[in-house]
Structure 1
Amino acid sequence: MRIATWNVNSAKARLPIVTEWLRSAAPDVALLQEIKCETAAFPAAVFEDLGYHVTAVGQKSYNGVAFLSKKPHEVVLTRLPGEEEDTQARYVEVDMNGLRIASLYLPNGNPVDTEKFAYKLRWMDRLYAHAARLLAEEVPFVLGGDYNIIPEPRDVFDPKAFANDALFRPESRAKFRALVNLGLTEAYRALHDDDHAYSFWDYQAGCWPRDKGLRIDHFLLSPQAADRLAACTIDRGPRGLEKASDHTPVIVELMD
């Protein structure tokens, strides 16, 4: 099973790029983030024409996640548990052939001196609690998406420049480590020890041509899913296209 995660930075604006990549890469599952449209406005029919079953969780203009799969799936959650008043569209979790798979868009958290950073940290606490529950219930799972977390200095082109950024602050990274330390496997780092393995390049200041990137899109696997881990790759190709998203797809492959 090949599962891709991709922050598309507007499903409608990137639709030609996304559909062409899905045709050529043909992942079994695609987790999309920042679809930036309300659920009813998501172009589900286009993806269905490509052979995907579609679940979207959107909101007007911001955020939003989607789950596309070649095989039918059953929706389990459309919100991350733990804060009923949180209405931001950032999480969808499905069951497919006994494997729980989630598409998540973790809050950015900047500026760090605002409620946005506190919200990010609370969201991470909720994700930790939810993952702990799934582990306790021995549910095999994959949590994929835009985590907005730079795990290590080698995962950013200039660690000093990001020292006070919410994506790299010690508090954020500590909560990510705590999540992994529950017993999860960070798929890319389990298989690769390279530097400059980025999944995001800002639109500003020539970041893409100068390879000034960040690695912030991740897959975390439960032990049962990690036992099936065969590959994890970053496809830089879509980032170089005209009118591209600032993120590029990350793909994990699990053995059947």
Structure 2
Amino acid sequence: MRIATWNVNSIRTRVGRVVDYLVRDDIDVLAMQEIKCRPDQFPVAAFEDAGYQVVAHGLNQWNGVAFASRHKMTDITTAFDGMPGFGKAVKGQETVQGTGPNGLPQEARALGVTVGELRLWSLYVPNGRALDNPHYEYKLEWLQALRQQMHAWLAADPHLPLALMGDWNIAPTAADMGDPAFIPGASTHVSERERAEFAKFTDVLTDVVRPHQPHGYSFWDYQAAKFERNLGMRIDFIFGSDSFTDAVTNGYIAAEEREGAGPSDHVPVVCDLDLDLLEAAWEEEDSPMLWA
């Protein structure tokens, strides 16, 4: 099974590119971020014509997350427990938009689905905007709540094949940041507090792509020919639990998708899974102990 994550930066603008990529690279499940539309505005027909089901969560022309899958999706969840909110409620979306424990309306930044035995999340972590902006504290609170929920999921089922995928808006190391406009101590994405929160996930989950492609970026700003100059950053990730990671056989960044007409500023990040390895691990865990 081939699973990918991609901040598409407006699915209605790039539906042709996205569907073409899915078919060409033989993607089974795609997690999307920044779809910038409501579910009723999502171009579902183009995906269905290519053999994909779609689940989308969006409130307006900002944010939004979605999945496209060749396989049935169940247990659809549009927020995780404890997810904080921010800003003002979206007019006309009162019955859809949840409220965070901080009393503020939740944005469309998280979508969970189950595909077979896999529990997958498409995540669009808040940007942060600036170190002195309220959005920065919101970003940290959002990550803290996600981490607490991750621990709860794995405490309930230590063998859960879980993947947290998406645009994390953090470049965790110096090797992940090639854009000189971002300065440690002065900019978001590279601040000490953001990187510290990111590192807490890696205590439990594994970046399943890094072992297979240790270098390369997943985002290049449109301005100043940054893609042509390779002034990018690595901020899109697939994190897997132990059970998920044990089934991963390959991973890569599809940087070529930043080329051509009308690309997103992000590119797909992809991993391959051997589901037989997943089943073998479960069988081994469930085998009776033999005594000599």
The TM-score bracket by the shorter chain reads over 0.9
1:248 partnered with 2:259: no
User: When you count strand as a share of all residues, which structure comes out higher?
Assistant: 1
Instruction: Report the more deviating stretch, 80-89 or 171-180.
Output: 80-89
Do the aligned residues in 2 keep the contact of 1:185 with 1:222 (CA within 8 Å)? yes
Do the aligned residues in 2 keep the contact of 1:188 with 1:219 (CA within 8 Å)? yes
Measured in 1, the distance between the counterparts of 2:190 and 2:218 equals 15
The correspondence for 1:166, drawn from 171, 182, 188, is 188
Measured in 2, the distance between the counterparts of 1:86 and 1:28 equals 33
Do the aligned residues in 1 keep the contact of 2:209 with 2:270 (CA within 8 Å)? no
* Aligned 1:1-256 pairs, distance under 5 A: 1-82=1-82, 83=84, 84=100, 85-138=104-157, 139-158=160-179, 161-163=182-184, 164-181=186-203, 183-194=204-215, 197-256=216-275
Measured in 2, the distance between the counterparts of 1:121 and 1:235 equals 29
Measured in 1, the distance between the counterparts of 2:19 and 2:262 equals 14
Deviation at 1:248, TM superposition (A): 0.6
Do the aligned residues in 2 keep the contact of 1:191 with 1:232 (CA within 8 Å)? yes
Deviation at 1:159, TM superposition (A): 6.2
> Once superposed, what is the RMSD of the aligned Cα atoms?
1.3
Matched AA of 1:6:
W
SS of alignment partner, residue 5 of structure 2: strand
Could you list the per-position Cα deviations for residues 69-119 of structure 1 after superposition, in whole angstroms to 9, with x for gaps in the alignment?
Answer: 101010331012213234210010011111100111001101221110011
Measured in 2, the distance between the counterparts of 1:151 and 1:189 equals 12
Measured in 1, the distance between the counterparts of 2:58 and 2:219 equals 22
TM-score normalized with structure 2 length: 0.84
Structure 2 unaligned segments of length 5 or more: list them: 85-99, 276-292
Instruction: Report the more deviating stretch, 221-230 or 132-141.
Output: 132-141
Deviation at 1:191, TM superposition (A): 3.0
Matched AA of 1:218:
F
Measured in 1, the distance between the counterparts of 2:222 and 2:161 equals 37
Deviation at 1:185, TM superposition (A): 0.5
Deviation at 1:160, TM superposition (A): 7.8
Structure 1 unaligned segments of length 5 or more: list them: none
Measured in 2, the distance between the counterparts of 1:224 and 1:107 equals 28
Matched AA of 1:46:
A
Deviation at 1:130, TM superposition (A): 1.1
Measured in 1, the distance between the counterparts of 2:166 and 2:214 equals 21
Measured in 2, the distance between the counterparts of 1:165 and 1:77 equals 32
Matched AA of 2:109:
R
Measured in 1, the distance between the counterparts of 2:182 and 2:258 equals 23
Do the aligned residues in 1 keep the contact of 2:212 with 2:252 (CA within 8 Å)? no
Do the aligned residues in 1 keep the contact of 2:168 with 2:235 (CA within 8 Å)? yes
How many residues matched?
Answer: 253
SS of alignment partner, residue 102 of structure 1: strand
Structure having the higher Rg: 2
Instruction: Report the more deviating stretch, 82-91 or 136-145.
Output: 82-91
Do the aligned residues in 2 keep the contact of 1:153 with 1:159 (CA within 8 Å)? no
Deviation at 1:33, TM superposition (A): 0.5
